[in-house]
């Protein structure tokens, strides 16, 4: 079976979905996003720190620095428009000795060169007033008031939904095995047949170098750099109101302690180079390392309220910078998008969309009228009692609580499945509406979520999976 | 903005499992007419509904019932008494003024303004995340209770080759259930050097089916990208750290967790009820009243029990105490603290009025043979009970008589003393 | 003569008892028990062990299965046959708790009854 599309986007992570949205808002050309996994945001986009970085980390003059600062500026409006949880909580990079102080002062200079607003050094006394749970051994810190937190996968869901509402098609469980140039564009080979397109955009994350090297003489190599995290349940009072970084090392930004937009506390990540880019296992050593380093920031840290641990893979390009732009005629790419990739994604997407639409081979089909973003109902958990009463009156399924830990209703679970790029798996439901995200980790609600998925998708319960592929929840009937 | 439906109730009971039902029955029999039981599931009975095995009710009825049968008796009694049990109703919050906000499909959002509240929300299972077990986050890892719900309530099999982590009773029961339904249970793995399950369950759920029990072992790695493919089990040392070189690999598609139960006290905590760090339940006095006047707690939300019979018994007391509170009979006078002594964890109640019979319950901190529970105050021994063995898996109950408590003004300490001392 | 080690199930002591049987299977001695209940249990367990069987059975005309139990304990050796019989059983809804879903399972003389109502 051969498919034709005008623009083929490979990879439904944050870059692919942001690019799909940016393109779909400007052109009526056909856009197809293909994704190896069973949902959007299944790679690095779902498993990262969820930080919108202020932009002081990257070397001035690098693509990382430029796109970070541009992307960070786009976030507040983008998240407001797409109803994505976002909070400009600010960040501190803490120095624990005089060597660290030098690093922090360097970061200040670097950040100022990159055009990051509001940076300053905070001395110990003020620092401990700002964050009383911080290790009193801290000597000073760099404060970055524009640093923010975001729900990374919810951003991707919103981007994908908005793209879909503007005509973008998504195809999951489809891996692009290779690319061949043709007279009229490109042919992407998949196990389910070829996809012909006028132009192709490679946003394949950890797999993007493979596709790059097929079409470019400038060979590149990605190292899979794993980061492990611990997630703590939402405490009554958060231990820190800002994201707390330690001083960066050559492997990355180090272990952070941060509140999340949903009130959890996130500890991590490690930075380990591993051979397999799909190996998202956590390890005893890695988790011990996270805990030990988090303890330096937060002496009172305890894993008693841990709800889960996870790891994500950063696609580290060996020369250390993003590779964003044209690879070959009518072939574009975003390769090596590791941190600050999430922050940079909206800017990367805008630049790629503009470049693709300027391609002379591209049919000009400007879109005059665009569909508004998908509007999801306010989460039941965040409503006032009056709003909750009204919500149940409008839809009695709001009166049926399914997830008790995160307070998620049946109506919300059905909406998560029915939205434009809807959930098709238990994890897909979890990330879209938080059912199963809480302290019991789906112990109570998973059977109900399986029932609802089966009903909504018209599948037997035994066909429902946790995530991608053959991750079946059940093996059969008694 | 729409109005919120406000309902005035003398007594609101949160939870319609064995604790809530027994509390409701006792309160009605003690004269409380205006009460409601709020249950989030579609039927009352709580976790008993999925506990289809027998062994319930020996103490209370002198016969062995299955979970559904035990629950059915309380439900029938509640119906006979005309109790208002609202199923499909989830409590969202309770405030310090005893205003209970609940939601259901049928009644929408309602605020019950209660004269008294009984907390009977039960407990939940510790999930994998709380253990920090490293590895992948594949499908096929369930708490024993979630697997029990799939098999017993829906007739669905969560897996075919199973390893069970934790030898609590639910884990043991599920080892047998999965085996009887055609699965192969490869091992039951217990971190501690002893099982917290009943001997009867070790014999009848593991030994009967040749399922090996690995004591002082734990699961140290979980493998499988999509569905679970295997786990690594390792022996642990006295500090419960895995010992290198003792790895055993099991090829399995399912890992069931039976690694502890946690009282579900999020509502209690948010309304300002003081909790005990030892039991994770409310701090109560001998009337089972919490630190918030007029709010009582009973059953597994107070402390995790082994036997439903004792849950029912405790909950009858809570129901009666709430009725007395509503009649204006406030427990008055001096209270003394009840403290955990040597070898004792989590005595309930934590405070008492020394003017009536009081049942003290606790768990031994470790396995102790030939020992006695002692209850002492101000250097005086009030009560003593000898037992050939004490294990953490078996809760100890000891009733101290009114006469024994007479004249007590100092803190009471409950300890385990090895005999011969 | 043969010996079997049995764990007592009567209390948390979990006594490890040694039961000695002669060639005919008759119990010659029980040692290792702490009390009389252990002795009784050990003799029963080596000569005629019995178990209650509880399970769930799919129901014709209902999405949920019915939970069942043997009304009395049955010989332990009959458990696999009992489970096989229950697996092929398809009682029709409605079923009331206490109703017999399978009479005289495997010729044991014991009925299997529903422990909850379905449909």
Residue B421's pLDDT is 45
Q: Is the pLDDT of residue A3 over 80?
A: yes
Three-class DSSP category at A456:
helix
**Are A344 and A259 in the same domain?**
no
Q: Please say if the pLDDT value at position B387 is more than 50.
A: yes
The answer to whether residue B8 scores a pLDDT higher than 60 is: yes
Q: What is the pLDDT of residue B420?
A: 58
- Residue A202 maps to a domain: yes
Contact flag C55-B181 (C-beta cutoff 8 Å): yes
Predicted local distance difference test score (pLDDT) of residue B88: 97
**Which of A375, A396, A414 is a domain's end point?**
A375
Estimate the crossing angle of helix A426-433 against helix A410-418, to 10 degrees.
Answer: 110
Q: What is the C-alpha to C-alpha distance for residues A6 and C103, in angstroms, rounded to an integer?
A: 69
Closest by CA to B418, choosing from B396, B397, B390, B395, is B390
Q: In chain B, which residues have their Cβ closer than 8 Å to the Cβ of C110?
A: none
Kindly list the residues from chain C whose CB atom is less than 8 angstroms away from the CB atom of residue B204. Answer: 9, 51
Distance, in Å, from the CA atom of C79 to the CA atom of A128, rounded to the nearest integer, reads 67
- Burial grade of B4 (CB within 10 A; 0-12, 13-18, 19 or more): middle
CA–CA min distance C1, chain B (Å): 23
Contact yes or no for A326/A302 (Cβ under 8 A): no
Q: In the sheet that A51-52 helps form, which strands lie side by side, from edge to edge?
A: A51-52, A148-150, A86-87
CB neighbour list of residue C44: distance below 8 Å, 6 or more residues apart: C50
Tracing tokens 């919108």 back to the chain, one arrives at A52
Long-range pairs for A393-400 at CB < 8 Å and ≥24 separation? Answer: A393/B2, A393/B108, A396/B105, A396/B106, A396/B108, A397/B105, A398/B103, A399/B88, A399/B103, A399/B104, A399/B105, A399/B106, A399/B107, A399/B108, A399/B109, A400/B88, A400/B104, A400/B105
List the single best residue of A413, A435, A441 to mutate versus B (max B Cβ within 10 A).
A441
State yes or no: pLDDT of C23 exceeds 60. yes
Name the residue among B105, B149, B266 with its Cβ closest to that of A399. Answer: B105
For B4, which of A281, A310, A385 is closest by C-beta distance? Answer: A385
Tell me how far CA of residue B73 lies from CA of B48, B56, B87, B297, in angstroms. 12, 12, 17, 22
pLDDT at B132 > cutoff 90: no
Which residues of chain A are within 8 Å of residue B220 when distances are taken between CB atoms?
A: 284
Closest CA to A268 of A313, A205, A311, A225: A311
Report the chain C residue with the minimal C-alpha distance to residue B45.
Answer: C116
Q: What SS3 state is found at A273?
A: strand
Q: What is the pLDDT confidence band of residue C1, given thresholds at 50, 70 and 90? A: confident
Q: Which residues partner with B12 through β-bridges?
A: B36, B117
User: Is B49 touching A (CB cutoff 8 A)?
Assistant: no
B157 to chain A, any CB pair closer than 8 A? The answer is yes
- Residue C63 shares a structural domain with residue C17: no
**CA geometry: angle A394, A395, A400, nearest 5 deg:** 135
Count Cβ neighbours within 10 Å for each residue of B26-46 and write b for 16 or more, e otherwise: bbbebebeebbbbbbbeebbb
Chain B positions in Cβ-Cβ contact with residue C62 (cut-off 8 Å): none
A478 contacts C56? CB cut-off 8 A: yes
Residues B330-347: tens digit of each pLDDT:
777 889 999 999 999 999
Strand partners, A465: A472
Q: Which residues on chain B place their C-beta less than 8 Å from a C-beta of chain C?
A: 49, 52-54, 64, 66, 68-69, 72, 151-155, 180-181, 198-200, 202-204, 207-208, 388-391, 393-394
Q: Are C61 and C10 part of one and the same domain?
A: no
How confident is the model over A303-324, as a mean pLDDT?
94
Q: Are residues A255 and A130 in the same domain?
A: yes
CATH 3.90.79.10 is held by the domain B127-259: no
User: What is the total count of domains within chain A?
Assistant: 3
Shared domain for A299 and A324, answered yes or no, is: no
Residues B84-95, mean pLDDT to the nearest whole number: 97
> What are A206-261's pLDDT values in tens digits?
999 999 999 999 999 999 999 999 999 998 889 999 999 999 877 777 899 999 99
Q: What is the DSSP annotation of B22-39?
A: HHHHHHHHTT--SEEEE-
pLDDT for position A217:
95
**Strand duo B412-418 + B336-340: pairing:** parallel
Tell me whether residue C26 is in a domain: yes
CB contacts, 8 Å: B72 with chain C: 97, 116
CA distance C75 to A335: 68
A96 & A78 share domain: no
Q: Identify whether A377 is preceded by a cis peptide bond (ω within 30 of 0).
A: no
Residues of chain A contacting C87 with CB distance shorter than 8 Å: 478
Q: Is A207 within the bounds of a domain?
A: yes
ipTM at complex level: 0.94
Closest CB to A386 among B1, B106, B220: B1
Chain B residues in contact with C55 by the CB 8 A cut-off are 52, 180-181
Say if residues B31 and B325 touch (Cβ distance below 8 Å): no
Q: Is B99 on the interface with A (CB under 8 A)?
A: no
Whether the predicted pLDDT of A1 surpasses 70: no
Residue B323 has pLDDT above 60, yes or no: yes
Residue B21: count other Cβ atoms within 10 Å of its Cβ.
31
How many C-alpha atoms does A104 have within 13 Å on its Cβ side? 26
Residue from the list A287, A407, A442 with its beta carbon closest to the beta carbon of B132 = A287
State the DSSP code for C106.
G
Residue C59 sits in the same domain as residue C109: yes
* A246 contacts A297 by C-beta, under 8 angstroms: yes
Domain containing residue A39: CATH number? 3.50.50.60
Please indicate if any CB of chain A lies within 8 Å of the CB of B56: no
Q: Is the pLDDT of residue B286 over 90?
A: yes
Residues of C in contact with B73 (CB under 8 A): none
pLDDT tens by residue, A346-368 = 999 999 999 999 987 676 788 99
Shortest distance, CA C90 to any CA of chain A (angstroms): 12
Is C93 contained in some domain? yes
Mean of the per-residue pLDDT values of chain A: 95
Which residue in chain C is spatially nearest to B72 when comparing CA positions? C116
Given CB atoms, is B42 within the 8 Å cutoff of chain A?
no
Residue C119 forms part of a structural domain: no
Nearest Cα of chain C lies from the Cα of A478 at a distance, in angstroms, of: 8
Number of independent structural domains in chain C: 2
Average pLDDT over chain B reads 95
Q: Å from C8 to nearest chain B CA?
A: 7
Q: C28 vs chain B: nearest CA distance in angstroms?
A: 23
Q: Which residue in A26, A31, A4 sits closest to A364, CA to CA?
A: A26
Res B1 pLDDT > 60: no
On whether the CB atoms of residues A462 and A477 are closer than 8 A, the answer is yes
Q: Which single residue is written with the structure tokens 């690319």?
A: A179
Instruction: Answer yes or no: do C43 and C66 share one domain.
Output: no
A310 CB neighbours in chain B (<8 A) are 137
Residues A177 and A283 in one domain: no
Which residues of chain C are within 8 Å of residue B64 when distances are taken between CB atoms?
52
Contact of B103 with chain A, judged by CB distance below 8 Å, is answered with: yes
> What dihedral do alpha carbons B136, B142, B144, B146 form, nearest 10°?
160
Q: Which residues are CB-contacts of B346 (< 8 A; sequence separation ≥ 6)?
A: B276, B278, B279, B303, B340, B362, B363
Per annotation, catalytic residue among A53, A162, A262, A330 = A53
**Per-residue pLDDT tens over the stretch B393-406:** 889 999 999 999 99
In Å, how far is A402's CA from the nearest CA of chain C?
A: 19
Domain coordinates in residue numbering, chain B: 5-124+262-331, 127-259, 337-418
Question: 3-class DSSP state for residue B420?
Answer: coil
Domain carrying residue A437 = 380-463
Q: How far is CA B86 from CA A236, B35, B78, C46, in A?
A: 30, 11, 12, 50
**What is the pLDDT, as a whole number, of residue A46?**
96
Element spanning B348, H or E: strand B344-348
Pick from A238, A252, A286: nearest CA to A134:
A238
The model's pLDDT over B183-219, given as tens digits with 9 standing for 90+, comes to: 999 999 999 999 888 888 999 999 999 999 999 999 9
Say whether A263 sits in a helix, a strand or coil: coil
Indicate if A74 and A55 belong to the same structural domain. yes
State whether C14 and B199 contact (CB < 8 Å). yes
pTM, to two decimals: 0.95
* Dist. CA A203–CA A9, nearest whole Å: 7
Tokens 């008492």 belong to residue: B352
Residues of chain B with Cβ-Cβ distance to A467 below 8 Å are 139, 226
What's the pLDDT score for residue A360?
A: 72
Same domain, A36 and A96: no
A185 and A236: one domain?
no
CB contact under 8 A, B66 and C65: no
Mean predicted confidence (pLDDT) in B93-109: 96
The CATH number of domain B337-418 is 2.10.69.10: no
Residue B256 or residue A366, greater confidence: B256
What is the span of the domain harbouring residue C18? 2-48
The pLDDT value recorded for residue B2 is 58
* Nearest CA-CA distance, residue B32 and chain A, Å: 28
- Of the three residues A330, A346, A375, the one that is the final residue of a domain is A375
User: Across the interface, which of B108, B111, B139 has its CB nearest the CB of A473?
Assistant: B139
CATH for A284? 3.30.9.10
Q: Give yes or no: residues C96 and C58 share one domain.
A: yes
Cβ <8 Å between A477 and C58: yes
To the query of whether residue A53 is one of the catalytic residues in this protein, the response is: yes
Burial of B397 (0-12, 13-18, 19+ CB in 10 A): middle
Tokens (6 digits) for C3: 């010996």
Question: Is C106 part of a structural domain of the chain?
Answer: yes
Question: Chains with ≥3 Cβ pairs under 8 A against A?
Answer: B, C
> Do the domains B5-124+262-331 and B127-259 sit in the same CATH topology, yes or no?
yes
Closest chain C residue to B70, measured at CA = C115
Residue C25 lies in a domain: yes
- CA quadruple B44, B47, B50, B51: dihedral positive or negative? negative
Distance from CA of A476 to the nearest CA of C (A): 13
As a whole number of angstroms, the distance between CA B226 and CA B270 comes to: 38
C39 & C67 share domain = no
Residue B411: band (very low, low, confident or very high) from pLDDT cuts 50, 70, 90: very high
A185 and A263 belong to one structural domain = no
Comparing alpha-carbon positions, the chain A residue that sits nearest to C83 is A478
State the Cα–Cα distance between residues C18 and C30, nearest whole angstrom. Answer: 6
* Among chain A residues, CA nearest to B155: A478
- Evaluate whether residue A472 is within a structural domain: no
pLDDT digits (tens, 9 = 90+) for B257-268: 999 999 999 999
CATH class of B5-124+262-331: alpha beta
Q: In whole angstroms, what is the distance from residue A76 CA to residue A91 CA?
A: 16
Per-residue model confidence as pLDDT tens digits over B343-358 = 999 999 999 999 899 9
**Is C75 an 8 Å CB contact of chain B?**
no
For chain A, list residues whose CB is within 8 angstroms of any CB belonging to chain C.
477-478
Phi and psi at A82, nearest 5°, equal -95, 5
Give the neighbours of chain C: at least 3 Cβ pairs within 8 Å. A, B
pLDDT digits (tens, 9 = 90+) for C26-85: 999 999 998 999 999 999 999 999 999 999 999 999 989 999 999 999 999 999 999 999
Write down which residue in A313, A330, A358 finishes a domain: A313
What's the CATH code of the domain at A441?
A: 1.10.10
Which two tokens mark B303?
Answer: 């402390």
Could you say which DSSP state residue A363 is in? Answer: -
* Interface size, chain B vs chain C, as Cβ–Cβ contacts under 8 Å: 74
* H helix or E strand, kind and range, residue A21: helix A14-24
Q: How far is C55 from chain B (nearest CA, A)?
A: 7
CA–CA distance, B152 with B173 (Å, rounded to integer): 12
């Amino acid at each position: 079976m051969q498919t034709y599309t005008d623009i083929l986007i490979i990879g439904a992570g944050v870059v692919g979905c942001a690019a799909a949205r940016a393109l779909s808002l400007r052109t009526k050309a056909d856009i197809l996003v293909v994704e190896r996994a069973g949902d959007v945001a299944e790679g690095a986009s779902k498993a990262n720190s969820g930080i919108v970085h202020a932009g002081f980390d990257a070397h001035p003059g690098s693509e990382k620095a430029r796109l970070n600062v541009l992307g960070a500026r786009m976030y507040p409006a983008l998240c407001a428009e797409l109803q994505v949880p976002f909070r400009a909580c600010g960040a501190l990079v803490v120095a624990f000795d005089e060597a660290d102080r030098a690093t922090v002062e360097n970061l200040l200079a670097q950040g100022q060169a990159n055009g990051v607003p509001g940076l300053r050094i905070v001395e110990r006394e003020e620092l401990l007033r700002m964050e009383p749970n911080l290790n009193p051994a801290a000597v000073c810190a760099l404060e970055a008031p524009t640093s923010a937190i975001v729900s990374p996968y919810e951003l991707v869901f919103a981007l994908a939904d908005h793209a879909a509402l503007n005509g973008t098609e998504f195809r999951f469980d489809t891996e692009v095995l290779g690319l061949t140039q043709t007279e009229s564009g490109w042919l992407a080979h998949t196990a389910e047949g070829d996809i012909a397109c006028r132009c192709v955009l490679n946003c394949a994350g950890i797999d993007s170098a493979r596709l790059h090297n097929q079409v470019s003489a400038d060979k590149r190599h990605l190292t899979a750099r794993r980061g492990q995290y611990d997630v703590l349940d939402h405490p009554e009072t958060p231990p820190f109101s800002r994201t707390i970084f330690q001083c960066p090392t050559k492997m990355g930004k180090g272990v952070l302690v941060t509140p999340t937009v949903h009130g959890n506390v996130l500890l991590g990540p490690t930075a380990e180079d591993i051979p397999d880019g799909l190996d998202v296992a956590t390890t005893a050593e890695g988790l011990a390392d996270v805990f030990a380093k988090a303890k330096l920031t937060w002496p009172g840290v305890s894993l008693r309220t841990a709800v889960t641990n996870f790891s994500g893979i950063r696609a580290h390009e060996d020369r250390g910078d993003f590779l964003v732009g044209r690879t070959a005629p009518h072939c574009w790419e975003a390769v090596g998008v590791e941190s600050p990739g999430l922050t940079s994604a909206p800017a990367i997407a805008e630049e790629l969309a503009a470049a693709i639409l300027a391609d002379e081979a591209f049919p000009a089909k400007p879109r005059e009228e665009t569909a508004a973003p998908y509007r999801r109902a306010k989460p039941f958990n965040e409503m006032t009692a009056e709003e909750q009463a009204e919500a149940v009156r409008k839809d009695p399924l709001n009166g049926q609580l399914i997830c008790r830990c995160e307070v998620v209703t049946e109506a919300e679970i059905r909406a998560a499945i029915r939205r434009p790029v809807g959930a098709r798996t238990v994890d897909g439901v979890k990330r879209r509406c938080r059912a199963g995200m809480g302290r019991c980790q789906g112990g109570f609600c998973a059977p109900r979520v399986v029932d609802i998925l089966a009903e909504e998708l018209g599948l037997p319960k035994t066909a429902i999976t946790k995530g991608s592929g053959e991750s079946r929840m059940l093996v059969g009937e008694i | 903005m729409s109005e919120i439906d406000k309902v005035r109730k003398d007594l609101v009971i949160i939870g319609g499992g064995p604790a809530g039902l027994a509390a409701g029955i006792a309160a009605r029999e003690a004269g409380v007419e205006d009460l409601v039981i709020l249950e989030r599931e579609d039927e009352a009975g709580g976790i008993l509904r999925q506990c289809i095995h027998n062994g319930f009710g020996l103490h209370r009825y002198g016969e062995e019932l299955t979970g559904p049968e035990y629950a059915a008796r309380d439900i029938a009694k509640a119906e006979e008494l005309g109790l208002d049990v609202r199923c499909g109703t989830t409590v969202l919050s309770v405030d310090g003024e005893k205003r209970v906000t609940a939601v259901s499909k049928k009644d929408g959002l309602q605020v019950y303004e209660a004269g008294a509240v009984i907390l009977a929300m039960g407990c939940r299972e510790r999930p994998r995340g709380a253990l920090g077990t490293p590895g992948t986050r594949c499908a096929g890892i369930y708490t024993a209770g979630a697997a029990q719900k799939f098999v017993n309530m829906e007739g669905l099999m969560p897996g075919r080759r199973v390893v069970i982590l934790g030898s609590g009773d639910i884990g043991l029961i599920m080892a047998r259930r999965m085996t009887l339904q055609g699965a192969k249970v490869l091992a039951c793995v217990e971190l501690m050097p002893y099982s917290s399950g009943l001997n009867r369950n070790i014999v009848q759920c593991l030994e009967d089916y040749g399922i090996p029990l690995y004591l002082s072992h734990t699961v140290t790695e979980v493998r499988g990208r999509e569905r679970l493919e295997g786990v690594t089990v390792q022996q642990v040392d006295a500090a419960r750290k895995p010992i290198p070189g003792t790895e055993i690999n099991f090829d399995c598609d399912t890992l069931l967790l039976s690694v502890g139960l946690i009282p579900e006290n999020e509502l209690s905590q948010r309304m300002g009820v003081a909790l005990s760090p030892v039991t994770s339940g409310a701090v109560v006095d001998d009337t089972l009243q919490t630190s918030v006047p007029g709010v009582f707690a009973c059953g597994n939300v107070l402390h995790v029990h082994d036997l439903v019979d004792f849950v029912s018994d405790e909950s009858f007391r809570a129901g009666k105490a709430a009725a007395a509170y509503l009649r204006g009979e406030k427990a008055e006078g001096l209270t003394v603290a009840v403290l955990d002594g040597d070898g004792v964890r989590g005595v309930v109640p934590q405070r008492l009025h020394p003017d009536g019979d009081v049942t003290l319950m606790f768990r031994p901190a470790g396995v102790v043979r030939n020992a006695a529970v002692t209850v002492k105050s101000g250097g005086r021994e009030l009560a003593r009970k000898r037992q050939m063995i004490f294990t953490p898996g078996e809760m100890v109950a000891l009733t101290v008589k009114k006469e024994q408590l007479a004249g007590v003004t100092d803190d009471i300490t409950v300890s385990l003393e090895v005999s011969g001392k | 003569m043969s010996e079997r080690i049995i764990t007592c199930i009567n209390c948390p002591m979990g006594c490890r008892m040694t039961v000695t049987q002669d060639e005919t299977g008759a119990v010659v001695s029980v040692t290792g028990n702490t009390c009389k209940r252990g002795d009784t249990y050990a003799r029963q367990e080596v000569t005629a062990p019995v178990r209650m069987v509880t399970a769930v059975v799919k129901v014709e005309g209902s999405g949920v299965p019915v939970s069942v139990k043997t009304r009395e304990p049955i010989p332990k050796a009959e458990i696999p046959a009992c489970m096989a019989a229950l697996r092929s059983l398809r009682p029709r809804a409605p079923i009331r708790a206490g109703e017999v879903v399978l009479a005289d399972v495997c010729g044991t003389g014991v009925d299997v009854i529903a422990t909850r109502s379905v449909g």
